Chain A
Amino acid sequence: MKPGSIAIVGAAETTELGLIPGLSQLGLHADAALNAMKDAGLSPKDIDGVACAGQSPMEVAWYLGITPTWADGTMVGGCSFMLHVRHAAAAINEGLCNTVLITHGESGKSGIGRGGFGGGASTVNGQFESPYGIAGPPSMFTIPVLRYMKDFGLTHEELAMVAVVQREWAGKNPRATMKDPITVEDVLSSRMIAYPFHLLECCLVTDGGGALILTKAERAKDFPNKPVYVVGTGESVETPMISQMEDFTTSKAFRVSGKKAFEEAGITHKDVDHLMIYDAFAHLPIYGLEDLGFCERGEAGKFIAAGNTRPGGKLPLNTNGGGLSYMHSGMYGMYALQESVRQMRGIAPAQVPGAKLSVCHGVGGMFAASGTIIMSNEQP
């Protein structure tokens, strides 16, 4: 890091130490955080970066009412917090955030509310979502969409068109898992998984992997293949519980992450040649197009149905076929990044001619987190 460029301006421990039977593990994080904020004269609204270990930064940020533009859940055991300090210094110097809160809480003796993200009957998810029969992402990620359909008039046919268009892209990709063309009728007559979602509106379940290597741009030309430059980045988290999403028709994490990335890259929507939006389910490209600012609220369904994102359309979207048709191993973000790199190198199976700028937008959990990477094959 740049020596002397970063200062610690607040520091505190939990109000009590020793045996603390009155707080869950998440509560210990919050108690320490509130004390540190008081020490610094800050409130949660002043914090825009969150790092923690042993608890998800999605839980900690949401619980405290923080909307971060930088989150770090690096977990390497007891020295995680040293790494958080170092990562935070780099993030602040890079302008990813201004004010970072690093928290630790561990109910090591009392064992209250332990279990980490999504696990354990005493976690927030375990208490306030699991009892109602949630059966994995198909019955959770999908919950907001009826609200969107009623508020904006999105039809079942328009939702189905997301899957139809992505299959068109997959048909051009020899590595896609599902390549045969499908129709709206095929989608709507496929097996119901969780109303209003049919099988073909849900992502595949496949095996796979991917990797990326990054270095300084000045070294980029020393390597055998065409370099792809990272020109903008964004991230945020909202809530680990789908039921606590602020607005069921728009993702706060998407909006914050996308805005940050576009600002960093200094680009407008007209500059974008190629777009990837993580599509675990058919409504995600709709939310993504709107929350990234490509479409007005309520218009993305019609935008896709009108053919704007299909091969030959003005905004090529999910050109590998996406999680709906290409592959989905569980954490699909790596494959979206790979397709953006291929498009920027000019080697994608369904190559967008002359594409110079690619926006790659990911989701984590169920609208719980978001990350946006903007790439270019031209050095800014």
Chain B
Amino acid sequence: MAAPRKPIPQPTPETQEFWDGVKAGELRLQRCQEAGCAQAYFPPRPFCPSCGSRNVATFKASGRGTLHSYVINQRPAPGFTGPYAIAVVKLDEGPKMMTNISGVEQTPEALVLDMPVEMAPEEASETISLPIFRPVGGGA
């Protein structure tokens, strides 16, 4: 019997561009095009959650952010082994995003809040890569 797999996201028309971006190694966010709003936001949707305008555009974000908060889960989850951090990063453009942190020990000592992180996508299926993050410069 195959080991249980991690849940794989199923894009919708509103989010397809985001997932295509991660697959291509890019983090794509959206920004309101109204003067005086210009809010960057996530998750993707075809209107601005700040002012309700449908005048929005997708842009290539820096893919960088900081480790905003996390827990180190000790309980079983499909596709995960051993204690692992479920993290939220604060992107340099403003929005927050849930993720995992790779390339670093999954301990409170190694996972220091506010440390800079960058997206390092990991392939989840033929069509989906996940926006996993790693410490900038390979961590401490």
Q: Is the CB of A65 within 8 A of B69?
A: no
Chain B's nearest CB lies how many Å from the CB of A148? 8
Q: Is the CB of B86 within 8 A of A130?
A: no
Chain B's nearest CB lies how many Å from the CB of A58? 14
Contact code string A229-266 (vs B, CB < 8 Å = 1, else 0)? 00000000000011110001000000000000000000
Give the complex CA separation of A23 and B11 in angstroms: 11
Contact for A27 among B8, B46, B84, B113, CB less than 8 A: B46
Most buried by A among B19, B79, B99: B99
Give the complex CA separation of A136 and B76 in angstroms: 10
A18 part of interface (Cβ distance < 8 Å): no
Most buried by A among B12, B47, B74, B124: B12
Q: Is the CB of B88 within 8 A of A122?
A: no
Q: Using a CB-CB cutoff of 8 Å, which residues 128-186 of chain A contact chain B?
A: 128-136, 138-140, 142-147, 150
Q: Is the CB of A194 within 8 A of B97?
A: no
Specify which chain A residues have a CB less than 8 angstroms from the CB of B130 in the assembled complex: 131-132
B138 part of interface (Cβ distance < 8 Å): no
Contact code string B41-76 (vs A, CB < 8 Å = 1, else 0)? 001011111111010000000000000111111111
B10 part of interface (Cβ distance < 8 Å): yes
Specify which chain A residues have a CB less than 8 angstroms from the CB of B88 in the assembled complex: 143, 242-243, 248
Give the complex CA separation of A22 and B13 in angstroms: 5
Give the complex CA separation of A91 and B33 in angstroms: 36
Chain B's nearest CB lies how many Å from the CB of A68? 14
Give the complex CA separation of A51 and B113 in angstroms: 38
Q: Is the CB of A248 within 8 A of B13?
A: no
Specify which chain B residues have a CB less than 8 angstroms from the CB of A64 in the assembled complex: 49, 52
Give the complex CA separation of A118 and B75 in angstroms: 19
Give the complex CA separation of A124 and B7 in angstroms: 13
B24 part of interface (Cβ distance < 8 Å): no
Give the complex CA separation of A130 and B11 in angstroms: 13
A267 part of interface (Cβ distance < 8 Å): no
Give the complex CA separation of A249 and B52 in angstroms: 26
Contact code string B76-89 (vs A, CB < 8 Å = 1, else 0)? 11011001101110
Q: Is the CB of B98 within 8 A of A24?
A: no
Closest chain A residue to B113, Cβ basis: A150
Q: Is the CB of B10 within 8 A of A127?
A: yes
Q: When A22-B13, A113-B12, A195-B71 are in contact, do A133 and B77 touch as well, CB less than 8 Å?
A: yes
Specify which chain B residues have a CB less than 8 angstroms from the CB of A243 in the assembled complex: 88, 96-98
A220 part of interface (Cβ distance < 8 Å): no
Specify which chain A residues have a CB less than 8 angstroms from the CB of B103 in the assembled complex: none
Q: Is the CB of A144 within 8 A of B45?
A: no
Closest chain A residue to B106, Cβ basis: A195
Q: Using a CB-CB cutoff of 8 Å, which residues 1-56 of chain B contact chain A?
A: 6-15, 19, 43, 45-52, 54
Q: When A64-B49, A131-B124, A133-B100 are in contact, do A146 and B10 touch as well, CB less than 8 Å?
A: no
Q: Is the CB of A65 within 8 A of B99?
A: no
Give the complex CA separation of A41 and B105 in angstroms: 53
Specify which chain B residues have a CB less than 8 angstroms from the CB of A139 in the assembled complex: 71, 73, 75, 77, 86
Chain B's nearest CB lies how many Å from the CB of A53? 20
Q: When A23-B13, A195-B108 are in contact, do A130 and B7 touch as well, CB less than 8 Å?
A: yes
Specify which chain A residues have a CB less than 8 angstroms from the CB of B71 in the assembled complex: 139, 142-143, 146, 194-197
Binding site for A on B (CB under 8 A): 6-15, 19, 43, 45-52, 54, 68-77, 79-80, 83-84, 86-88, 96-100, 108, 113-114, 124, 130
15 further A-B contacts with Cβ under 8 Å, apart from A37-B52, A44-B51, A126-B10, are A24-B13, A34-B52, A63-B49, A65-B51, A121-B7, A126-B7, A127-B12, A128-B98, A131-B7, A143-B88, A144-B69, A147-B69, A147-B113, A196-B71, A244-B43
13 A-B Cβ contacts within 8 A? A22-B13, A30-B45, A45-B51, A64-B52, A65-B49, A65-B51, A112-B12, A122-B9, A126-B7, A127-B10, A134-B77, A195-B83, A242-B98
5 shortest interchain CB distances as A-B pairs: A65-B49, A243-B98, A195-B72, A121-B10, A24-B12
